[in-house]
Structure 1
């Protein structure tokens, strides 16, 4: 594989000075889950590299996503009860395992004295992709193309967009404050997902298609809750933390423009995607709901990883992600009718190229930091000096 040097010399120097700082005030995490993770991490052999735990969790999510894709490509199998029951048991097991591995990798790194900026970047970079995989896999449980009682395609796109933007808010907050305030919604969402898969396996998918109190369905309630939590919990907490840093004169950025710069590319990304969804002549989201949502997740992760690199290296965020330019061309050609019947084919090609480019970026950045820090990604051994 052709290795490009995506990380600049200035950023590499920034990684040399990096110190991890995080705050976790979530009661579920502090009083319940952390005690469980402290017990589980003790059974992990000391020779296993922390990044191997991180990557194993991500692979489990990918496998779960591909299994659900095989049985439910267009998000219609759940309502017809065509998905075998073992799939839901596997989804619960893989989701919990990925959650556990993501929670103990840092503990294992400190336990083996192998913590490094590469480990954090590897963790958060994969998290930026895993966030979408968690979400679009869950849609197989409660999707209902066409609308109520399940989630319609457009509702799924809205749901995923809100989840991903919440992820970006956490890292935008860290870009400005230097501290990662772990979101309360993460542990709650993981416990909810595992519980939901278990309920589906035990009771059946019909549980999600029955109205609750006042005739509202679970899907409607869940979307309302995630919007409410974003507007009334996540956003106010983020602004409060940034304001507190401003009051203490510990803000990393010295102007409003620099502070808002990491949000420009995500805002443009979701604006372009929304235009495509709303004006697509062939209704691309309706035609290819799973693949379109997968592309959204990959494109977001590509943007988010650049922000995370700049945030960790204490360097200036890029103004525009390169992906926005080909995306803008594709969206323009699609919505104006220039692509005609080729829209779906061009969309598939764009998705494949975006995925390959993002994987290539991740591999190259991992190798570059591995060489710079003189450590192996998946081994506890030090690299040989060149």
Structure 2
């Protein structure tokens, strides 16, 4: 298992020809954050590898996850449950860590260009870890709302809203060759950091206090769903391309965001600048994500012991790990210009486990699946899928390092900034 190779000759050949292209339409990022990051990166020593910066930011999100989870594993603090308290310093530290991680994510590419060490590995490493970070950051906020205001079912759908917002950006790039940087990303990171700091200063109960008779949880949900629908531009753009009248109607309400959406996928088909895939191939990256949503939703509603309500943290970790694996494989495919997977091997394991959990044993004269057994299956899934995903990531990084003759976390002396074709890589 540990010697398994995940990258084919076609993958590696595609990485050799890869050119990074992105469009950042966020004025906040362009006029505030990038100047700030340009200033910060001046203080980073030239011997610090960009991937080390990326990994450090990721580990801060993991640290936050463990720290908050230690005090509020079941999201009971906001419920006012006796014996559950998050020290305010924990939330303040978490808020600072989110901002630092966000800053490190903004300067890793700048450090790569400064040191002349830009490679496709940097982008893959960055976005691959981002797919996992998206899980942790959302879980922080669940501790501020609690399970009374935010039951497990609603956590489930919010989680998938976050997944889609991340995934659809890479779905777009898979079909257009252009990475459209979501304009909402900067606001989300600032909001998460600010929210945790406010909760640390004034106490987490602030976020369960009704405003005009409605709890903040509802406002956050509405913002996420509305903003998510506007930033899910790849799928919407395809619908616009197929149904022009629908575009005219939607643009009346949403205007500029939809024009941006049309600009990328629709124009790529009109001007023949994208991959020009047939419809079934264009939507191929979405099949495993929708499969994950279907299987996890079935388990959520048909679990004999209401397993997500019992342990929402581990339930989300299972779906998040599979989602990250799906995302990483899509990123590899888009960067190497190869065909992405129409399904994911981890989904077979997940599906098999879920079928066992929801199987109607009493109909065949057997005892209903107990909570202990279902929790054991859940925790086993977390362990197996996490190890498998780690192996995939470790192997892909190792194979790319070997192919490009580089090291992941150190800078070789006289390492060139140019790829094998002699053209400078660009990575933001």
Indicate the residue corresponding to 2:142 in structure 1. Answer: 139
Task: Map 1:283-322 onto structure 2 (within 5 A).
Answer: 283-322=306-345
CA distance in structure 2 between the partners assigned to 1:188 and 1:281 by the alignment: 39
Is 1:377 the equivalent of 2:408? yes
Closer/same/farther in 2, CA of residues 365 and 383 from structure 1, 3 Å limit: farther
How many Å apart are 1:234 and its aligned residue? 3.0
Distance in structure 2 (CA, Å) of the matches to 1:83 and 1:310: 42
1:2 match: secondary structure: coil
> How many residue pairs end up in the alignment?
379
1:40 aligned residue:
40
Q: In structure 2, what is the Cα distance between the partners aligned to 1:206 and 1:132?
A: 23
1:14·1:312 contact (CA, 8 Å) conserved in 2? Answer: yes
CA contact (8 A) 2:175 2:277 kept: no
Is 1:323 the equivalent of 2:354?
no
Query: 1:179 maps to what in 2?
Result: 178
Q: Aligned equivalents of 2:316 and 2:7: distance in 1? A: 28
Does the Cα contact within 8 Å between 1:28 and 1:187 map onto a contact in 2? Answer: yes
Q: Deviations over 1:204-251 (max 9, x none)?
A: 1121011123x1221101111111112234334485221011111111
Structure 1: gaps (5+ residues): none
Once the 2 structures are TM-superposed, how far is the Cα of residue 196 of structure 1 from its aligned partner?
0.3
Alpha-carbon distance in 2 for matches of 1:138, 1:29: 23
2:393 to 350, 354, 362: 362
Q: Which moved more, 1:76-85 or 1:2-11?
A: 76-85
* 1:238-257 equivalences in 2 (<5 Å): 239-240=261-262, 241-257=264-280
Q: Equivalents in 1 of 2:54, 2:9: separation in Å?
A: 26
1:272 aligns with 2:272: no
Partner of 1:54: 54
Taking the aligned partners of 1:248 and 1:194, their CA distance within structure 2 comes to 41
> What is the Cα-based RMSD across aligned positions, in Å?
1.7
TM-score (normalizing by structure 1): 0.95
Q: Is the 8 A contact 2:151 2:309 kept in 1?
A: no
Q: Deviations over 1:347-368 (max 9, x none)?
A: 1101110001001111111000
Q: Is the 8 A contact 1:265 1:303 kept in 2?
A: yes
Asked if structure 2 preserves the Cα contact closer than 8 Å seen for 1:72 and 1:78, the reply is no
Q: How do 1:25-104 and structure 2 match up within 5 A?
A: 25-80=25-80, 82-104=85-107
Structure 2: gaps (5+ residues): 237-257, 362-367, 416-428
The 3 A distance-change label for structure 1 pair 239 and 33 is closer
2:78·2:208 contact (CA, 8 Å) conserved in 1? no
Out of 219, 222, 239, the position equivalent to 1:221 is 219
Select the residue among 105, 112, 115 that pairs with 2:108.
Answer: 105
Could you tell me how far apart the structure 1 residues matched to 2:70 and 2:360 are? 32
- How far apart, CA to CA, are the structure 1 residues paired with 2:124 and 2:413? 18
Partners of 1:370 and 1:376 within 8 A in 2: yes
CA distance in 1, matches of 2:142, 2:150: 8
Match of 1:190 in 2: 189
Helix, strand or coil at the partner of 2:191: helix
Q: Secondary structure at the match of 1:307?
A: helix
1 CA distance for matches of 2:229 and 2:175? 20
Provide, for residues 16-64 of structure 1, a one-character-per-residue CA deviation record: whole Å limited to 9, x for no partner. Answer: 0001111111122112111211111111111000000000000111011
Q: Identify the residue that residue 5 of structure 2 maps to in structure 1.
A: 5
* C-alpha displacement of 1:294: 1.5
